[in-house]
Amino acid sequence: MSQHHKPQPVLHSHLREKDEYGQSSHDHQQHQPAADGAGHDHHHGQHAHADACCSHGTEAGQNQSPGKHNPPPEGTNRVRYRIDKMDCPTEETLIRNRLEPMAGISRLDFNLLDRELTVYHRLDEPQPIAAALQALDMAPSLLGTGAPVAAVPPALSARLKGLLTISGLAAVGAEGIAWTTGDEGSWLVVALAALSILSTGLPTLKKGWIALKNLTLNIYFLMSLAIAGAVIIGQWPEAAMVVFLFAVAEAIEALSLERARKAIKSLTALAPETAEVKVADGWQEQPVAEVPIGCRIRVRTGARVPLDSRVESGGAALDQAPITGESLPVDKRVGDTLYAGSIVTDGVVEAIVTTIAGDSTLARIAAAIQDAQSQRAPTQRFVDQFAHYYTPAVVALAVLLAVLGPLLFDGAWGAWLYQALVMLVIACPCALVVSTPITVVSGLAAAARHGILIKGGTYLENGRLLKAVALDKTGTLTLGKPALTDAAPFGDLPLDQALLIAASLDEHSTHPVAQALVAGWRGRQPATTMLPVEDFGVLSGHGVKGRIAGQLWHLGNHRLVEELGICSLELEARLALLENAGKTTVILCSPSGPVAVFAVADTVRPESFAAVAALRALHVEPVMLTGDNPATARAIADQLGIQDARGNLMPDEKQAAVAELKNRYGAVGMVGDGVNDALALARADIGFAMGAAGTATALETADVAIMDDDPRKIADFIRLSRRAGSILKQNIALALGIKIVFFALALAGHATLWMAVFADMGASLMVVFNGLRLLRQFAQRPPVINQMP
């Protein structure tokens, strides 16, 4: 055994029965990606740490990672409300100001897109919470545990369109008559202005009164004050225009938010409502919610898979883009996993249901996105804090302007009051506050559509800060399963004949090395049939033997050749060359000696070359961390152009390596399988889990889950984060810049009320549309060809 081999935990000792290639039966379990370095014990201990990785990784996954993801406060009860009137950060602030000071309230989570509020509390009953929301005229509806999200009403109903039309015509009419007659107080102007205000202004005035009662200086209070002030000083046309422009801007903003909501829903509302289930007398359509685990379902061409399941018979090509972001269909055969929401593009399969509808991969993605929306990003927290001080300060300045202006600078009291009202409208930080949530939600939606599940705005924003990314080798940079890489004659026997004999012997073995050799033969000689083998036998820890056409053949590892006494210096040199490259060697021997040498190794993913190059282009340093031996690690790293490659690492050593990288570079990401690398993932600033579509643990523990196995998406995430950060800065600069310009115009006496409303709400719409640009971040990626350097 290898000099690097470490004692295995006693927990797994009963699993270590040796097979023909010197590897334990436990190591055969290819569905467990834990074993970093899926090589073979008979050369350099390539699997020496597998069991340790499994045990430590699972424990870490349970105990470490959840701490990074804002778990519910201990000892609290949870209650969810649907609030149809809550569709803007303004309402969120109003609710926070009312509920957070209440005794027994621990935490509030808001999902503005779905208009949901989750309250964690220590009250005996939630009635006081509902009463407080009713007092704010929020009309809450209690949602049961696990209740599906009800459809949000359309942003622009037919009734609202009609009211906007009436309000607009009346406001324009009042403004036109006042301008042509020069009389802003005529009964016709007042009547038209009043009609405009009553058509669309009552909700604003009502919300303004509620804000005043709760001592909250929000947009509705400021607008109500501006409308009332304009009416008091006789500026009826101005008041009407303010009401109309504000209502139009709110409608357009609601439509923009609806677009972001639909982008999210398009990702999560993909599974059909019924499934074709096998019953005693045939097949029957049943609601997916009623289909239990173990049922047999059938999915035909063109249909969506209703539930997570395992193929039992048949075969098909599936479009998994809604789940993994993969651009090409994936072939599915018996034993393969089907994900709810994926589409059968060709073929028919029958499958056994493996999860209920509420626990499917698609459902977990939906839950993760909903949870991510409820978490406030760093920029949003900063903006909220800024607005907390900014708005009262400007309101105070407007009051001083109205009171001290006539006293210090002369002029009519009405004129100074008018300028103060203009300043009140400008004071609203609506554009500033709304800029962050829409940008973050658009980024989350774009990433999820691309097969990247980001667990919150914090990670979306902080990804741009990464200076180094540590990558696990097996299953991340490599395919995670052995493949035939080398085949060479060692004597006079033709290589094709030697490979056929070796494959015929290994066809009787289930060992991964044997399967890789047989698969390699099939790829090279697809039209050839196997040779019959007699007297087949397993040579424990060494290989196999058998007779073909009456001649005895041996096929096995380096130790087998030595025990047969047919090893030579020339063969040793040939084997050393392959073994130093991290490959597992297999030798075919006739009674007269070795006749062929084969090598099997975990091969590099075609996408890994582009992935490493993309990280370097972003000036992010790629580092390889693996439990495999240093020779294998170095061989893979050299192919990819990674300078820093570290082998023989146990899970706690990977964690220490991440800590050291943080000290050297700053912010560091860690990419692993989400299970066995949990310690290192938790230690990193951002933990990435690969292949998360098939692993519930990865979805739950990772900060960023890559739904398929494409490592290029690490760089895609960093690019998305950098663009999101750029858009957030643009939005803040835009919102503040417009306010500074209009402050100057107001102080100079050149700004009107309707101009101030138009500017403020125009700024809001500009930052919303700017944030929505993130939805188009990812273009369709072309198919990958092997990008060997």
- Listing DSSP states for 407-459 in one string gives HHH-S-HHHHHHHHHHHHHHH--HHHHHHHHHHHHHHHHHHHHTTEEE--HHH
Given a cut of 60, whether residue 33 has pLDDT beyond it is: no
Residue found under tokens 């009164």: 209
Structure tokens at 486: 């080398």
- List the one residue out of 93, 418, 434, 91 whose CA is nearest residue 231: 418
pTM (predicted TM-score): 0.72
In this structure, the number of other CB atoms found within 10 A of the CB of residue 228 comes to 13
Band (pLDDT 50/70/90 cuts) for residue 6 is very low
Compute the mean pLDDT over every residue in the chain, rounded to the nearest whole number.
82
Low-confidence winner among 187-201, 272-286, 445-459, 745-759 (lowest mean pLDDT):
745-759
3-state secondary structure of 586: strand
3-state secondary structure of 783: coil
d(CA 410, CA 429): 30
The 10s digit of each residue's pLDDT in 260-315 is 677 666 665 677 889 999 998 899 999 998 999 999 999 999 899 999 999 999 99
Given a cut of 70, whether residue 685 has pLDDT beyond it is: yes
The 10s digit of each residue's pLDDT in 54-86 is 333 333 333 333 335 567 888 899 999 999 888
∠ Cα 360 472 695 (to 5°): 10
Distance of CA 348 to the CA centre of its chain: 30
Q: Say if CB 471 and CB 711 are below 8 A apart.
A: yes
Q: Look at residue 658 in the predicted model and tell me its pLDDT.
A: 95
Low-confidence winner among 347-351, 394-398, 520-524 (lowest mean pLDDT):
394-398
Return the axis-axis angle of helices 712-748 and 430-449, rounded to nearest 10°: 160
The 10s digit of each residue's pLDDT in 161-200 is 999 999 999 999 998 999 898 888 899 999 999 999 999 9
The 10s digit of each residue's pLDDT in 101-126 is 999 999 998 887 778 899 999 999 99
716 is catalytic: no
How confident is the model over 243-263, as a mean pLDDT? Answer: 79
Return the axis-axis angle of helices 413-427 and 712-748, rounded to nearest 10°: 180
467 Cβ contact list (under 8 Å, min separation 6): 619, 620, 621, 665, 666, 667, 668
- List the one residue out of 64, 775, 697, 32 whose CA is nearest residue 361: 697
d(CA 150, CA 247): 26
Q: Look at residue 460 in the predicted model and tell me its pLDDT.
A: 94
d(CA 613, CA 529): 42
Q: Look at residue 468 in the predicted model and tell me its pLDDT.
A: 97
SS (H, E, C) 139-168: CCEEECCCCCCCCCCCCCCHHHHHHHHHHH
**Among residues 51, 308, 384, 472, which one is catalytic?**
472
Which of 471-475, 490-494, 695-699 tops mean pLDDT? 490-494
Q: Look at residue 692 in the predicted model and tell me its pLDDT.
A: 65
Given a cut of 50, whether residue 402 has pLDDT beyond it is: yes
Instruction: Please provide the distance, in angstroms rounded to a whole number, between the alpha carbons at the two ends of the chain.
Output: 34
Q: Say if CB 585 and CB 597 are below 8 A apart.
A: yes
**Residues forming a β-bridge with 600:** 484, 584
Q: Look at residue 5 in the predicted model and tell me its pLDDT.
A: 34
d(CA 685, CA 467): 11
Given a cut of 60, whether residue 784 has pLDDT beyond it is: no
Q: Look at residue 74 in the predicted model and tell me its pLDDT.
A: 87
d(CA 250, CA 588): 77
Which of 336-350, 457-471, 617-631 tops mean pLDDT? 457-471
d(CA 79, CA 123): 11
Q: Look at residue 714 in the predicted model and tell me its pLDDT.
A: 96
Band (pLDDT 50/70/90 cuts) for residue 325 is low
Q: Look at residue 551 in the predicted model and tell me its pLDDT.
A: 94
